[in-house]
Amino acid sequence: MPNIVLFSGSSHQDLSQRVADRLGLELGKVVTKKFSNQETSVEIGESVRGEDVYIIQSGCGEINDNLMELLIMINACKIASSSRVTAVIPCFPYARQDKKDKVGESRAPISAKLVANMLSVAGADHIITMDLHASQIQGFFDIPVDNLYAEPAVLQWIRENITEWRNCIIVSPDAGGAKRVTSIADRLNVEFALIHKERKKANEVDRMVLVGDVKDRVAILVDDMADTCGTICHAADKLLSAGATKVYAILTHGIFSGPAISRINNAAFEAVVVTNTIPQEDKMKHCSKIQVIDISMILAEAIRRTHNGESVSYLFSHVPL
| Local confidence pLDDT in tens for the 321 residues of the chain | 789 999 999 999 999 999 999 999 999 999 999 999 999 999 999 999 999 999 999 999 999 999 999 999 999 999 999 999 999 999 999 999 998 876 666 788 999 999 999 999 999 999 999 999 999 999 999 999 999 999 999 999 999 999 999 999 999 998 889 999 999 999 999 999 999 877 777 777 678 899 999 999 999 999 999 999 999 999 999 999 999 999 999 999 999 999 999 999 999 999 999 999 999 999 999 999 999 999 999 999 999 999 999 999 999 999 998
Which CATH number applies to 2-147?
3.40.50.2020
Which one-letter amino acid corresponds to residue 142?
A: D
Main-chain phi, psi angles of 311, to 5 degrees: -70, 140
Give the span between the Cα atoms of 90 and 296, in whole angstroms: 10
Q: Which amino acid is at 7?
A: F
Q: What does each C-alpha distance from 59 to 67, 130, 211 come to in angstroms? A: 7, 11, 33
CATH 3.40.50.920 fits 149-292, yes or no: no
Residue 111 · residue 147 · CB < 8 Å: no
Sketch the domain layout of the chain as residue ranges.
2-147, 149-292
Query: pTM here?
Result: 0.94
Provide the pLDDT for residue 208: 85
Which residues have a Cβ under 8 Å from the Cβ of 20 and sit 6 or more positions away? 6, 8, 26, 27
pLDDT for 205 equals: 65
Q: Do domains 2-147 and 149-292 have the same CATH topology?
A: yes
